Chain A
């Protein structure tokens, strides 16, 4: 069974969100997602400063099996990207919730973003898919 930390929020498209100080949100893909994709060989990251609509495809993770879009879970501006992934995409396989983080966003709207899944609900989704 894959690792689904209880303190994170998740999306139906398998991104996780971690709340950082000052309203910043860190985004990555779940352990379940990296396991289904297999060994990652390439990650395409957005430019810092780019503004994203909610649901906009903004990054790509590519494995030997498939290429998959990463979607912005909320309308936001990109404030940081994990540049290490350009050289070492395997960080996402090795440590999806830690050194494999993909980007940090500053949401456009105040308050908690809606439509996200709890660890419990994401567990059910991952088990079904």
Chain B
């Protein structure tokens, strides 16, 4: 943790006239750039902080030291796959020949980049068992949108216009029903049984002539593998619907099972999660989509194709794929993220992919077993965990008045990022824990020791937990008041 326990706002360092003049743009004072209508010219100076270069560097360096990050802390944030991203991926993506390439440069000038993108498409097809892949979606939710838009386009192309219902299991990611709605569909919820699997009777009751498709995560957000996935696929396909795979949890099955073999028609892959790009700060991401044969014509453009003659690699657009759902971004996607994913997959190879799946699962099951040994309660103790698992603090809440939030806040004091809390909504007082495949046994054991200490404190000194965190620059935030009385206006210190 940092030496500075508090850091002022950048505005508090501001002094009139201070700045790094050598870095100012060469605009003559008082002159507006040409072409701006007089009515739109600014009359007052912008309210920017006036600080020296050194003050600026120190301020942001100190802020970065106050953060929890993968580079400093274990980060078991369930469903988010906060794993370590090898530095080599970044180094290759930052090569000047990649970083300096203009997206409008002729394809003859970017054959190396296009070759990487083509091979990335091919590797993603191989690892998911899908027939085609498009790389352009910029995030998971964007990929979901592309997937459901393709499902709609498929039904429309067949003249099957009544299909506007997307089935979403209770345990789904919150983005799934949002995606269905954004694509003009109605989300229909289907229940999940006590064992965590989709309730097949409820599914049979809800499918029909209006079913466009179902959106599933497998393993689900409950951290368990949907065992009857082939039966789910049969029921939905027989009703004329298609299957969408939310790839948020892909690291759990990498190299082991392929969504294409399970019967899925569309999938998005969070390359920034499974294939190692720093994430969690709001971007940039990459939500590549994969499709089965029947959705191939509808893939978003552009796609990279490899031909027989020079130049070998070229973009395919609307002309080559007239039934495409179109362009989801101005160019080919987030090039930097895609390159990092490419390098990561190349480094892993087929063997490494399997190890990702094996260690993601092994780490989760080891951690789950150890935490149950020290007295925590698993939400699905009878099920083997996939890459993540759920603890419920329901009993601790009843017995000691200690909530999942108290445990999460206390973990911060002990040097661990908190797991996901209060999600999935099905389980009360829950922690969703994903250790990821990149953590060592020693780190997991240290986390178990911290959790055991917290459980002791819950029994002996619950006040300690209600007040946590005690050792961080910011204490427990009043999130209720912050939501009820939203106030985002900066006020000068002491003002």
- Seen from chain A, the residues whose Cβ lies within 8 Å of a Cβ on chain B are 36, 39, 41-42, 64-66, 68, 89-90, 129
A66 touches B422 (CB 8 A): yes
Which candidate, B62-70, B143-151, B476-484, is the interface stretch facing chain A? B476-484
B425 touches A66 (CB 8 A): yes
How many angstroms between the C-alpha atoms of A43 and B383 in the bound complex? 37
User: What 7 pairs across the A-B complex have the smallest Cβ distances?
Assistant: A41-B483, A39-B480, A65-B422, A64-B479, A41-B484, A66-B425, A64-B480
Across-interface contacts of A129 in B (CB, < 8 A): 428
How many angstroms between the C-alpha atoms of A89 and B480 in the bound complex? 11
Shortest CB–CB separation between residue B408 and chain A, in angstroms? 12
Shortest CB–CB separation between residue A50 and chain B, in angstroms? 17
B483 touches A42 (CB 8 A): yes
How many angstroms between the C-alpha atoms of A90 and B422 in the bound complex? 20
A-B pairs with beta carbons under 8 Å apart, 7 shown = A39-B480, A41-B484, A42-B483, A64-B480, A66-B422, A66-B425, A129-B428
Across-interface contacts of A64 in B (CB, < 8 A): 479-480, 483
Give the size category of B's interface with A.
under 10
B428 touches A41 (CB 8 A): no
5 extra A-B contacts, CB within 8 A, seeds A65-B421, A65-B422, A89-B484: A36-B428, A41-B480, A64-B483, A66-B423, A90-B484
Residue of A nearest to B423 (CB): A66
* Residue interface bits B401-444, CB-to-A below 8 A is 1, else 0: 00000000000000000000111010010000000000000000
How many angstroms between the C-alpha atoms of A65 and B428 in the bound complex? 11
Q: How many A-B Cβ pairs are below 8 Å?
A: 18
Interface residues of B in 443-495 (CB under 8 A from A): 479-480, 483-484
Shortest CB–CB separation between residue A67 and chain B, in angstroms? 9
- Seen from chain B, the residues whose Cβ lies within 8 Å of a Cβ on chain A are 421-423, 425, 428, 479-480, 483-484
Shortest CB–CB separation between residue A55 and chain B, in angstroms? 11
Across-interface contacts of B425 in A (CB, < 8 A): 66, 68
Residue of B nearest to A129 (CB): B428
Across-interface contacts of B479 in A (CB, < 8 A): 64
How many angstroms between the C-alpha atoms of A68 and B428 in the bound complex? 14
How many angstroms between the C-alpha atoms of A36 and B483 in the bound complex? 18
Residue of B nearest to A41 (CB): B483
Across-interface contacts of A41 in B (CB, < 8 A): 480, 483-484
Shortest CB–CB separation between residue A46 and chain B, in angstroms? 17
Shortest CB–CB separation between residue B110 and chain A, in angstroms? 45
How many angstroms between the C-alpha atoms of A113 and B295 in the bound complex? 45
How many angstroms between the C-alpha atoms of A65 and B424 in the bound complex? 11
How many angstroms between the C-alpha atoms of A42 and B428 in the bound complex? 21
How many angstroms between the C-alpha atoms of A66 and B484 in the bound complex? 14
Shortest CB–CB separation between residue A53 and chain B, in angstroms? 12
Across-interface contacts of A68 in B (CB, < 8 A): 425
Residue of A nearest to B405 (CB): A65
How many angstroms between the C-alpha atoms of A129 and B483 in the bound complex? 27
Across-interface contacts of B480 in A (CB, < 8 A): 39, 41, 64
Across-interface contacts of A66 in B (CB, < 8 A): 422-423, 425
Residue of A nearest to B425 (CB): A66
How many angstroms between the C-alpha atoms of A65 and B423 in the bound complex? 8
Residue of B nearest to A64 (CB): B479
Residue of A nearest to B422 (CB): A65
Shortest CB–CB separation between residue A49 and chain B, in angstroms? 22
Shortest CB–CB separation between residue A107 and chain B, in angstroms? 23
How many angstroms between the C-alpha atoms of A90 and B481 in the bound complex? 11
Shortest CB–CB separation between residue B409 and chain A, in angstroms? 13
How many angstroms between the C-alpha atoms of A65 and B431 in the bound complex? 12
How many angstroms between the C-alpha atoms of A113 and B484 in the bound complex? 36
Across-interface contacts of A42 in B (CB, < 8 A): 483
Shortest CB–CB separation between residue A65 and chain B, in angstroms? 4
- Interface centre among A36, A39, A65, A90, by most chain B C-beta atoms within 10 angstroms, is A65
Across-interface contacts of A36 in B (CB, < 8 A): 428
Shortest CB–CB separation between residue B485 and chain A, in angstroms? 10
Shortest CB–CB separation between residue A69 and chain B, in angstroms? 10
How many angstroms between the C-alpha atoms of A129 and B392 in the bound complex? 13
Residue of B nearest to A36 (CB): B428
How many angstroms between the C-alpha atoms of A80 and B115 in the bound complex? 63
Shortest CB–CB separation between residue A124 and chain B, in angstroms? 16
Residue of B nearest to A93 (CB): B480
How many angstroms between the C-alpha atoms of A39 and B428 in the bound complex? 15
How many angstroms between the C-alpha atoms of A64 and B484 in the bound complex? 10
Across-interface contacts of A39 in B (CB, < 8 A): 480
How many angstroms between the C-alpha atoms of A36 and B484 in the bound complex? 19
How many angstroms between the C-alpha atoms of A41 and B486 in the bound complex? 10
Residue of A nearest to B403 (CB): A38
How many angstroms between the C-alpha atoms of A101 and B479 in the bound complex? 24
How many angstroms between the C-alpha atoms of A66 and B429 in the bound complex? 12
Residue of B nearest to A66 (CB): B425
Shortest CB–CB separation between residue B489 and chain A, in angstroms? 19
Across-interface contacts of B484 in A (CB, < 8 A): 41, 89-90
- Interface centre among B421, B422, B480, by most chain A C-beta atoms within 10 angstroms, is B480
How many angstroms between the C-alpha atoms of A90 and B425 in the bound complex? 21
- Interface centre among B421, B425, B428, B484, by most chain A C-beta atoms within 10 angstroms, is B484
How many angstroms between the C-alpha atoms of A41 and B485 in the bound complex? 9
Across-interface contacts of A89 in B (CB, < 8 A): 484
Shortest CB–CB separation between residue B116 and chain A, in angstroms? 41
How many angstroms between the C-alpha atoms of A41 and B481 in the bound complex? 8
Shortest CB–CB separation between residue A43 and chain B, in angstroms? 11
Residue of B nearest to A65 (CB): B422
How many angstroms between the C-alpha atoms of A129 and B425 in the bound complex? 12
How many angstroms between the C-alpha atoms of A119 and B422 in the bound complex? 27
Residue of A nearest to B426 (CB): A129
How many angstroms between the C-alpha atoms of A73 and B484 in the bound complex? 29
Across-interface contacts of A90 in B (CB, < 8 A): 484
